[in-house]
Amino acid sequence: MGHSVERLAWREEGGLLFLDCGLRIADCGLQIADCRLQERHRGMGPKRSPDQATTGPSDHRTKRPSDHPTIRPPDHPTIRAVVFDFGGVLLRTEDRSGRRRWEARLGLPAGALDKVVFESEASRRAMVGKAPDEAVWEHVATTFGLDADEIRRFQHDFWSGDRLDEELVRFLRSLRPRYKTAILSNAWPNARYVFGQLFGLDDAVDLMIISAEEGVAKPDPRIYQIALRRLGVRPEEMVFVDDMPENVRAAQALGIRAMRFTDTAQTLAWVRSLLNERKG
């Protein structure tokens, strides 16, 4: 072998490597290096690993998922956070009879009380922390001429038909600690006490992000950015459910995976379908 090795050399034709005679080992090494350099400059493919060094440029191994365990297709990002709105999603007004009684007493059309309470200037200010909860009820009392006892009964009847969706709450609890969870709500300053103490949600989620505490409300993009920052996730890693179309659109514009709430079964099916991507 000593005699023949002295005369071996590589040459390239048509993208393949062949052995010629007539060159010493030192010259052979230069020839190989030159061949590889030319291959790289001609864009004949990515740099090969040691186990591919003698294969032709068209001989590419099929990559298995295990070859790159940290890489996922860009259209299937990992979901890391699940965020629900409170009013209209986790808590819904299922019985409006209490409100209807007051509307009849005050000579108002059905649904008018919701507008008086939620669409007043006092409510808008309370929602971003510029007025206390009491300012809203003072506005209602002044509008309808109610005394202190009447406004207390009004408040009781106004909220009496609200029901917590226990199935959604159980689902949120079940996600921890595998996923980060949060409530993102447009609500008045007393909301944290109401959500946490009156409805027992303190340990149901990791975070409560409340507009009155942040000074900004949905659909302002800033409140979604606050949620993303505190959860420590990117927009495409967050799932969000809200009952208001404008809030859903604002979240989607930031790249958040958002849907409008219509019913519990549809919401659970949609969120679960997204969470299954984590196993993909």
Q: Does 3.40.50.1000 match the CATH number of domain 81-91+163-279? A: yes
Q: Confidence class of residue 97 from pLDDT cuts 50, 70 and 90?
A: very high
Query: Residue 14: what pLDDT?
Result: 55
**Model-level pTM greater than 0.85?**
no
Is the pLDDT confidence value at 170 over 60?
yes
- Tens of pLDDT along 186-234? 999 999 999 999 999 999 999 999 999 999 999 999 999 999 999 999 9
Q: Which two tokens stand for residue 158?
A: 């106004």
Is the pLDDT confidence value at 38 over 70?
no
Angle between helices 264-275 and 166-175 (to 10 degrees): 10
Is the bond leading into 109 cis (omega within 30 degrees of zero)?
Answer: no
Query: Residue 60: what pLDDT?
Result: 40
**Residue whose entry in the numeric block shows the structure tokens 């495409």:** 236
Cβ-based neighbours of 57, under 8 Å, separated by 6 or more: 15, 39, 44, 45
Contact between 76 and 174 under an 8 Å Cβ cutoff? The reply is no
Q: Where are the domains of the chain?
A: 1-46, 81-91+163-279, 95-159
C-alpha dihedral, 101 to 105 to 111 to 112, nearest 10°: -150
Closest CA to 143 of 113, 187, 101: 113
